[in-house]
Amino acid sequence: MRAFCGIDWASDHHDIAVVDETGSLLARARIDDSAEGLDQLLQVLAAHGDSSEESIPVAIETSRGLLVACLRATGRPVFAINPLAAARYRDRHTVSRKKSDHLDAMVLANILRTDAAAHRMLPADSEVAQAVAVLARAQQDAVWDRTQAGNKLTSHLREYFPSYLAAVRHRREGIYHPIARALLAAAPTPGQAAKLTRPQLRAVLKKAGRKNTIDTEVERLHSALRASQMRHLPLVEEAMGRQAIALLRQLEAACASADELAEAAVQAFGAHADADIITSFPGLGPLSGARVLAEIGDDRTRFADARGLKAYAGSAPVTRASGKSVSVAARRVKNQRLAGVGYMWAFSAMAHSDGARAHYDRRREAGDRHTAAQRNLFNRMIGCLHHCLTHRVPFNEAVAFPTSKDPRLTLAA
């Protein structure tokens, strides 16, 4: 008889339940989150028919961590069950709504016993793809941290140093630009900024990497930092300057982390076999391509067709029908990271592809708002990406956006 394993994951221990095809409990155990605990788990599975030819599938409520990585390395099927879905299954097994770690492990095992086909097994991505995923996601997190740190510092500067914000506002990067950060480090208060001489400003610009039109920028900053503004009391202003320096250090660290991780992600992505195909698409560079690869992986059996990938990315709409009521709406349950890079991808593609721009314009003329038209373009592009990766061909705009009725130029999106 087949067996199924459920693991209730915790930070320092894990509860295990193994059930047979009838739902009867075959074994239960609690293991530590250690190598010894993993050996104990493998021994329990081996005692109930686990082998290299027929591995016992495992259900767990997370897709990360050492335990999951080691189980995937053994080649066995591992299912990451959404905790919300597991909570709904729990109500099927107990009407009293009681809860325990062992019960949760039993619920997970029974999910595989009854509804394994309704859940997705973790993909068998290559080692390079998994490394790209780690780096690309970490870089995205660092960008979010950088944005949060920049917002905190900007909010603080508005309270006592608006002339500085006005001085650096003309740059697209604003406070994130190296010159803006070097300037604030040199003069964190209005009083100190007003005392900066032209030679000191010139030294700040050179330290930040400025090479051209230095004298012009020096004059602009010299005038802007002496602009009239409201001021706090001297001691209060000095204290707020010290707080700004502390916030600036956090911003500097976040900027350095984002830059270093971006370089590492691009380097790892370049070593992957799919890099050339992904970057052949308009609007996808090495970093955005790494983010796409991180979320879709390189296991081509993961998505049976382009529709599955579109639903996973959130670009395909979802239809809700009940009786005579039918509504079509944007998909909210999706991979948020892939949807985020998809928005940037579609926006950039319009500037680099005449076909993409024409597709967007047609959707706008048909009545779509900007976001809906851009999401529809992303839906088209990611369908093309699935085709290109499956058939190992680069992007071809004449095929992706045909201008004639020739059926040979039609690509199922």
Residue 78 lies in a domain: yes
The answer to whether 38 and 67 have CB atoms below 8 angstroms apart is yes
- Give the number of C-alpha atoms closer than 13 A to the C-alpha of residue 360, restricted to the C-beta side: 21
Mean pLDDT, residues 59-64: 91
Residue 413 in this model has a pLDDT that exceeds 80: no
Mean pLDDT, residues 251-261: 96
pLDDT of residue 412: 42
Mean pLDDT, residues 191-195: 93
Indicate the residue type of 309.
L
159 lies in the same domain as 74: no
Cβ-proximal residues to 75 (8 Å cutoff; 6+ apart), any chain: 52, 55
Residue 43 in this model has a pLDDT that exceeds 50: yes
Residue 126 lies in a domain: no
Q: How confident is the model at residue 409 (pLDDT cuts 50, 70, 90)?
A: very low
Among residues 218, 249, 267, the one where a domain terminates is: 267
- Distance from C-alpha of 285 to C-alpha of 245, rounded to nearest angstrom: 35
61 lies in the same domain as 88: yes
- At 9-30, the pLDDT tens digits run 888 889 999 999 998 999 999 9
Nearest to 294 by CA among 335, 233, 345, 344: 335
Other C-beta atoms lying within 10 Å of the C-beta of residue 392: 10
Nearest to 110 by CA among 130, 85, 131: 85
Residue 49 lies in a domain: yes
Q: Checking DSSP bridges between strand 25-32 and strand 318-322, what pairing results, if any?
A: unpaired
Q: Checking DSSP bridges between strand 318-322 and strand 325-329, what pairing results, if any?
A: antiparallel
Mean pLDDT, residues 123-143: 95
Q: How far is CA 385 from the centre of its chain?
A: 18
**To which H or E segment does residue 384 belong?**
helix 370-391
Determine what percent of the chain falls in helix, strand and coil, rounding each to the nearest 5.
60, 10, 30
Cβ-proximal residues to 101 (8 Å cutoff; 6+ apart), any chain: 8, 10, 15, 30
Count of residues making up the chain: 413
SS3 319: strand
The answer to whether 395 and 281 have CB atoms below 8 angstroms apart is yes
pLDDT of residue 328: 86
- At 147-191, the pLDDT tens digits run 999 999 999 999 999 999 999 988 888 899 999 999 999 999 999
**Quick one: 55 exposed, middle or buried, by C-beta within 10 A (0-12, 13-18, 19+)?**
middle
Cβ-proximal residues to 257 (8 Å cutoff; 6+ apart), any chain: 142, 145, 146
Residue 405 in this model has a pLDDT that exceeds 80: no
- At 357-389, the pLDDT tens digits run 999 999 999 999 999 999 999 999 999 999 999
Residue 123 lies in a domain: no
Cβ-proximal residues to 324 (8 Å cutoff; 6+ apart), any chain: none
Structure token digits, residue 340: 């985020």
334 lies in the same domain as 378: yes
147 lies in the same domain as 260: yes
Other C-beta atoms lying within 10 Å of the C-beta of residue 22: 7
Give, in degrees to the nearest 5, the angle at Cα 4 between 61 and 294: 40
Residue 40 in this model has a pLDDT that exceeds 80: yes
3-state SS, 386-403, equals HHHHHHCCCCCHHHHCCC
pTM, to two decimals = 0.86
pLDDT of residue 78: 94
Among residues 211, 238, 267, the one where a domain terminates is: 267
Among residues 267, 293, 320, the one where a domain terminates is: 267
pLDDT of residue 99: 82
Residue 125 lies in a domain: no
46 lies in the same domain as 110: yes
Nearest to 201 by CA among 186, 213, 190, 181: 186
Per DSSP, 54 falls in state S
pLDDT of residue 410: 43
214 lies in the same domain as 104: no
Cβ-proximal residues to 191 (8 Å cutoff; 6+ apart), any chain: 231, 234, 237
79 lies in the same domain as 113: yes
CATH of the domain at 55: 3.30.420.40
Q: How confident is the model at residue 132 (pLDDT cuts 50, 70, 90)?
A: very high
Q: What domain range is 228 assigned to? A: 131-267
159 lies in the same domain as 183: yes
Residue 294 in this model has a pLDDT that exceeds 70: yes
Number of independent structural domains in the chain = 3
343 lies in the same domain as 385: yes
pLDDT of residue 33: 87
Nearest to 17 by CA among 117, 113, 123, 94: 113
Residue 322 lies in a domain: yes
SS3 21: coil
Residue 124 lies in a domain: no
358 lies in the same domain as 391: yes
Residue 407 in this model has a pLDDT that exceeds 50: no
284 lies in the same domain as 399: yes
- At 203-244, the pLDDT tens digits run 999 999 888 889 999 999 999 999 888 999 999 999 999 999
Average pLDDT score, the chain: 91
Residue 195 lies in a domain: yes
Mean pLDDT, residues 267-271: 96
108 lies in the same domain as 19: yes
Mean pLDDT, residues 67-87: 89
Q: What percent of the chain has a predicted confidence (pLDDT) above 70?
A: 97
Residue 351 in this model has a pLDDT that exceeds 90: yes
- Distance from C-alpha of 317 to C-alpha of 372, rounded to nearest angstrom: 10
Within 123-197, residue ranges assigned H as helices are 127-158, 162-168, 178-186, 190-194
